Structure 1
Amino acid sequence: MEKTPNPPSALARFADGDFFYTFKRSPVAVVSFVVVALLVLAAVFAPLIAPYDPFNPASLNLMNGFSEPMVPNAFTGETFWLGTDDQGRDVFSTILYGLRISLFVGFAAVMFALVLGVTLGLIAGYIGGWVETLIMRVADVQLTFPSILVAMLIFGVAKGFTPPEYRDDVAIWVLIFAIGLSDWVQFARVVRGATLVEKSKDYVQAARLIGRSPGSIMLRHILPNVLGPVLVIATISLALAIIAEATLSFLGVGAPPTQPSLGTLIRIGQGFLFSGEWWILLFPAVTLLTLALSVNLLGDWLRDALNPKLR
């Protein structure tokens, strides 16, 4: 009797699938993924990679201030890959630590917006009636304002309710809340439209006939079938959230000086640009541009890969 071969593993099925084949055939997607992966790994392992702890005052030497990239300091003789800022902090190390804050805020804000938007979109599309009208009118009103202004308003109001002694401690969480609350609309609108299509299909009607609750139908039956476009929006929104965080921090209403992000580093570097210390601004700005561009290109490829009309 012949032995039945073992079924292929999930990893093997993924490697042989159309999705991975499309990914391998797109040089832009591969390069973007590699760049994003390297930046994420660099941020995660920043304490191990960074040659200095830039936010430990005991490790700073003011004599190293304004050291040019790859040029020995005139006073200490130390050489820094990307130079130092006015306080003698290694720019390469500050970028790695700032990248951690920017990525954390971006990922957390997108997850918050995704959960809120998908939940409200499912409720609006499935229940309908005055609930749908209320949710969609709130979304329409929010769309009339630029998201960065909405985030600034929410950040200012939330920070105003926070006691002054705790503002720096909760600034990052307030920033995540502000950006996430300004970006939920696009998730809700897409999920609501997809839910309107899915709820009229036979499998949903069958679930109703056997007595499934509305919550169970939305979570177990409709949600898995609307996640495709949600993933695309989430990828593109990640780049927008990172840029929004950098914009708020550049304007001085984002990450606190004790936990600087890439936007904070750009704001600091901008003050020294015209005095000749160009590297303090250039390298954080290039890092932010590279991260946002790579995530955007990866999102564009993901949108095309998940579009059945383009297959």
Structure 2
Amino acid sequence: MTDKVSKTTPSRLRRALDSDLFHAFKTSPVAVVSAIVTFVLVFSAVFAPLIATTDPFNPTSLNLMNGFTSPLSPNDFTGESFVMGTDDQGRDVYSTILYGMRISLFVGFAAVLFAMVLGIVLGLTAGFIGGWTETIIMRAADVQLTFPSILVAMLIFGFAKGITPIEYRDQMAIWVLILAIGLSDWVQFARVVRGATLVEKNKDYVAAAHLMGRPTLIIMLRHILPNVLSPVLVIATISLALAIIAEATLSFLGVGAPPTQPSLGTLIRIGQQYLFSGEWWILFFPACTLLALALSVNLLGDWLRDALNPRLK
């Protein structure tokens, strides 16, 4: 009897492949191409030590004689050639992009995760408890919305870096950057979760949980939270692209990743210095990588938002 039930019950993979969401994905060329580009870039960043030709941030692997070598052209002194050329220090641009993309993705994912957790906690608390708690949280969110997020991130980064001991600033720069971007991006998560919580807490299943004597925290986490996660996941996908761009902007302005751990933004800032002297590849390839990464993630977020919107079905 058990074997018959197991044969007739579809597996989780089969249910996922037969779902409306996967059907919408495979019938959308933009979503498929964006997913492929995102997967290739993320895969390349994760396995950069295996894919990169050299470790560009290892001083022992650098040769200053290879500096400013144009793409696919042999160096005049060493005779070596590089697919994307080299920068001013003789580092392979292709390898620096892979390693720099690891930092950009790590900062983006960590900042969005931090902002999402903080926004969910504050949004659930404001929507479910209400009263002065809701007023304080939402007024703080309104005040933060009056300032551009990049300025808020710069302010938080400058303050956090100022209180960090000088000898630890380079080591803590990445974590300070994550904190700055996360604290500047929690508001949209909190507003969406609060609105969804206000709708969900008046439904019958919440009233039944109250009658059963469930604690408030359990009701918020086990009953309301799963029903408000769909819009949160959409926002998180779109926010990932914005977080990557914010990290690149801060690093380009010189207040982000340190020179010892350059991200895509730092590489673009370095390349910009040599753009008008003819070494265009130092800026061009990191900028194209950042554009492809941010655009593909953003398009995936737009598709997910439309696919999960019941009004568009």
Q: TM-score, normalised by structure 1?
A: 0.99
Shift of 1:9: 1.2
The 3-state SS of whatever aligns with 2:4 is coil
The answer to whether 1:4 aligns with 2:4 is: yes
Aligned counterpart for 1:95 among listed residues 90, 93, 97: 97
Partner of 2:211: 209
Match of 1:224 in 2: 226
Match of 2:65 among 53, 63, 66: 63
Aligned to 1:240: 242
For residue 74 of structure 2, give the secondary structure of its aligned residue in structure 1.
coil
Runs of 4+ in 1 over 6 A off after TM superposition: none
187-196 vs 54-63, which deviates more?
54-63
Q: Does 1:277 align with 2:282?
A: no
Structure 2 gaps of 5+ residues are none
Amino acid at match of 1:122: L
Structure 1 residue 116: Cα displacement: 0.0
Distance change >3 Å, CA 120–CA 3, structure 1 → 2: closer
Aligned residue for 1:4, secondary structure, equals: helix
Shift of 1:8: 1.4
Q: Does 1:178 align with 2:205?
A: no
Identical columns (%): 79
Amino acid at match of 1:4: K
Structure 1: distance between partners of 2:175 and 2:23: 39
Mapped partners of 1:204, 1:105: distance in 2: 37
Q: How many residues align?
A: 311
Task: Give the distance between the partners of 1:139 and 1:38, measured in 2 at CA.
Answer: 36
Corresponding position: 1:153 with 2:155:
yes
Superposed displacement of residue 4, structure 1: 2.1
For residues 259 and 208 of structure 2, the distance between their equivalents in structure 1, rounded to whole angstroms, comes to 56
Q: Once the two structures are superposed, what CA deviation does each residue of 1:10-37 show, in whole Å capped at 9, x if it has no partner?
A: 1111011111011000000000001001
C-alpha displacement at 1:3, in angstroms?
Answer: 5.7
User: Map of 1:131-150 to 2, 5 A cutoff?
Assistant: 131-150=133-152
Query: How far has the Cα of 1:266 moved from its partner?
Result: 0.1
Distance 1:101 1:58 in 2: 21
- Using the size of structure 2 for normalisation, the TM-score is 0.98
SS in 2 for 1:211: coil
Aligned counterparts of 1:28 and 1:233: Cα–Cα separation in 2: 19
Alpha-carbon offset, residue 150 of structure 1: 0.1
Distance 1:268 1:2, change over 3 A: closer
Name stretches of at least 5 consecutive residues in structure 1 with no aligned partner: none
Give the Cα–Cα distance (whole angstroms) in 1 for the partners of residues 174 and 5 of structure 2.
Answer: 52
| Match of residue 49 from structure 1 | 51
C-alpha displacement of 1:5: 3.6
Q: Indicate the larger mover: 148-157 or 5-14.
A: 5-14
The aligned residue for residue 113 of structure 1 is 115
Q: In structure 2, what is the Cα distance between the partners aligned to 1:111 and 1:24? A: 27
Deviation larger for 7-16 or 269-278 = 7-16
1:298 alignment counterpart: 300
Partner amino acid, structure 1, of 2:107: V
